[in-house]
Structure 1
Amino acid sequence: MALCNRVRSGIALFQNSAVIASQRSTLQRSLVAPSIPLASRNYANVPGQKDNKVKVPLALFGGSGNYASALYIASVKANAVEKVESELLQFAEAVKNSAKFSMFIKDLSVAKDVRVKTIQDICAAAKFSNVTKNFLVIVAENGRLKYLDTIAKRFAELAMAYKGEVKATVTTVVPLPPEEEKALKETLQEIIGSGAKVNLEQKIDPSILGGLVLEFSQKVFDMSIKTRAQQMERVLREPISVANI
């Protein structure tokens, strides 16, 4: 409650209740589809999408994919995809940086009205857009705040596709020198084509021993020394056929 008290001074009243009600209705419709199991739903066809004439650019699965897709539909309709992406990532980062607040959103024993009121206060203090506020309130009402980090990451994937970007991740033992990073990015751009912009992210993982692992467009190219060593070990362990000698 200390966190709630710190932001209380910045609380603002919701404006334009009709617009807010409409946005909440859009989100709720997109999240309700009792005839399709969450685990197997193809979110390229999210319930409610046809009515809103919004095409979800990626097929996301699971509960987090459902929420991210629903938020995408509402964000596109409000022409606020990039703003919502920024606000959602900002909120998720704030959760990570506050141990008390992180515990608060994961504690399902907290009464629903307390969860909702706290989220409303924080969103108002942060001056979040109505789309983001409505979405976070719905997540709080449904007791799904503990999954928010995953939802935010899935929504970021949709936002990148919306902006015509393709995320590529390269994992190495040490950071790539600028010239090698530039060359890799140019190579990926040639492969993907001019219709999309490559967004290259570097990750460091000493456990791969050397080489690199490249991930993009749901493909993985593992050229690490660790994987090559494992492949060679499997070959060496295979029994030798005398007939082939």
Structure 2
Amino acid sequence: MAMAGRMRSGIPLLRRVLTEEAEGSVNLRAALFPSFGKSEFTRSYASGPPAAAKKIKVPVTMFGVSGNYASALYIAAVKANVLDKVESELTALVEASKQSPTFTQFMKDLSVRAETRVKAINDISAQAKFSEITKNFLTVAAEGGRLRVLERILQRFSELTMAHRGEVQAIVTTVIPLPPAEEKELKETLQDILGQGKKVKLEQKIDPSILGGLVVEFQQKVFDMSIRTRARQMERFLRKSIDSDVQ
């Protein structure tokens, strides 16, 4: 009960802190695949006709190689109306690769010829009956030696799919699982900040080292209301006071 009370006491504080946060805006990338070679850039992930009718915008600005790949995959998947399917297929592949050290090493080994990587990924795609979008994307990733960062690409892609669905992920870290009533209150607090049209997707993590309270990661910000952090702040304050008295 005492532990639950300490967690609950952090929620009103979180509500106040979040309310005071200013909202920011993002500009969409004007170019797609700027770091790719010509052959990669001109390859179409979709197997249908050229994209002329429908212009798709990426909901979140992304940078770097993983962001570029994820953005291109998102556009192709939305155009083909297979966004959820592609995410599910890539998630299954990444999870399966974690169970196979041999395949993991294969994906990371750049000494393997591109033709060998492509053949292997095509065989896997055929056996798993992946969609054309997923198969073509993996082929491009294999050709470009990007299979080694597939998990990171999937993470960025999932950020885009969540934004597409109007979802915002929040991670709350506590010492013990958050009681249902407190979880509901936290989600409502975050939902109030987001406003209408957005949905909070809450993930709980357990970390006894924070001693109590809670840590919330939300919209690329961290709100640390843990007892561990408060204790460290108090220790620094006391040390500063002692040093001042000594001088």
Verify same fold: TM over 0.5: yes
How far is 1:194 from its partner?
Answer: 2.0
Question: 1 CA distance for matches of 2:129 and 2:111?
Answer: 28
Secondary structure, counterpart of 1:109 in structure 2: coil
Do 1:52 and 1:73's aligned partners in 2 also have CA atoms closer than 8 Å? no
Instruction: Identify the structure with bigger relative contact order (alpha carbons < 8 Å, sequence gap 6+).
Output: 2
1:63 deviation in Å? 1.6
What's the counterpart of residue 101 of structure 2? 99
Report what 1:177 is aligned to: 179
1:205 aligned residue (178, 184, 207): 207
1:214-241: CA deviation from partner (whole Å, max 9, x where unpaired) = 1112221110112112211221222555
1:151-170 residue pairs with structure 2 within 5 A?
Answer: 151-170=153-172
Q: Tell me which moved more, 69-78 or 229-238.
A: 229-238
Work out the CA distance in 2 between the residues paired with 1:186 and 1:50.
42
Per the alignment, in what secondary structure is the counterpart of residue 79 of structure 1? coil
Tell me the percent identity: 63
Residue deviations 1:21-70 (CA, integer Å, cap 9, x gap): xxxxxxxx832347xxxxxxxxxxxxxx9996221111222221111111
SS in 2 for 1:82: helix
Number of positions where the alignment pairs a residue of Structure 1 with one of Structure 2 = 200
The amino acid that maps onto 2:95 is E
Distance 1:50 1:175 in 2: 50
Structure 1 match to 2:66: 64
Where do residues 1-245 of structure 1 align in structure 2 (5 Å cutoff)?
A: 30-33=32-35, 53-238=55-240, 241=244
Check conservation: 2:35, 2:65, Cα contact below 8 A. no
After TM superposition, the score normalised by the length of structure 2 is 0.75
Task: Give a deviation string over 1:77-114, Cα, whole Å, max 9, x none.
Answer: 11111111111111111111111111111111111111
Alpha-carbon distance in 2 for matches of 1:171, 1:50: 46
- Seen in structure 2, the aligned counterparts of structure 1 residues 50 and 197 have a Cα distance that, compared at 3 Å, is farther
Amino acid paired to 1:60: M
What is the DSSP-based 3-state SS (H/G/I as helix, E as strand, rest coil) of the residue aligned with 1:30?
coil
Q: Compute the RMSD of aligned alpha carbons.
A: 2.1
Structure 1's unaligned 5+ residue stretches are 1-28, 35-48
